Amino acid sequence: MTDTEKKGRQNPSRVRDHLANERTYLAWMRSAIALMGFGVVIVRLRQFHIPQIHRPGTGWRLGLLFSMVGLMTVFLSTLYYFLIRYDIDEGTYEPSTRRVILFSVTISLLGAAVIYFVFTAILDPMSSFVPD
């Protein structure tokens, strides 16, 4: 039996595993795009708020950090997709929790930084962000 004949008669369970791997990859891509977009939003919010004290702020750093984590997510999820694809083909796939824990901790730290940034920023009393 040739290699192409084997591929024509794949196990339906294996096909489902590959499709699930692709869906997971796409979910990670959506997360990465959201992170990069949120980074841009944080940087752009700086334009709506003119600080009372003219000094370099931390908003652009936070936005850059979100964007960098988004780019790293693209890289790591693509790498992980191909590793899982290979493991499914070889029948050696074992789920790992390290990646999920690492991503959760990273996003938690970024979220804490956003909360800190939002609540410690000095707002202009004339700003539209301050409620009456």
Rounded CA-CA distance 121/113 in Å is 12
pLDDT digits (tens, 9 = 90+) for 102-125: 889 988 998 888 888 777 766 555
DSSP state string for 68-132: HHHHHHHHHHHHHHHHHHHHHHHT-----SHHHHHHHHHHHHHHHHHHHHHHHSPPPTT-TTS--
Rounded CA-CA distance 37/31 in Å is 10
Rounded CA-CA distance 29/22 in Å is 10
* H-helix or E-strand spanning residue 49: none
User: Does the reported pTM lie above 0.85?
Assistant: no
Q: Identify the pLDDT of residue 39.
A: 85
